[in-house]
Amino acid sequence: MLPALAFVPLNRVEESFDYLCNNNDYPDIVQPIIDQFQTTWIGDPGRQHCQAPRFAHGIWKCYDAVQTGLPKTNNSCEGWHREFSEMIGASHPTIW
């Protein structure tokens, strides 16, 4: 359920994360994953101040892309590189 947070509005990320954590009966073995997710993607409240997430919410959010019909992956870019590699006959060409 945590990956679903990429599809909520930017201003509701923390609220949605708290809702998922408080309204699901996760087994204890999952808690380290939730803690790591919070530290890396959400931000860690800490004791004295909130530590910013490792990656800003705006970087990994897909909500706006979904609303505007933009692609959510880079498949078109990967397809171009695949075609280019086939055209030159090498996947990692050198200039030498």
Whole-number Å distance between alpha carbons of 89 and 84: 8
Whole-number Å distance between alpha carbons of 61 and 16: 13
- Given pLDDT bands bounded at 50, 70 and 90, which one contains residue 33? very high
Query: Alpha carbon of 53 to those of 17, 40, 85: distances in Å?
Result: 13, 5, 37
pTM: 0.64
pLDDT digits (tens, 9 = 90+) for 8-22: 998 898 899 999 988
Whole-number Å distance between alpha carbons of 43 and 13: 10
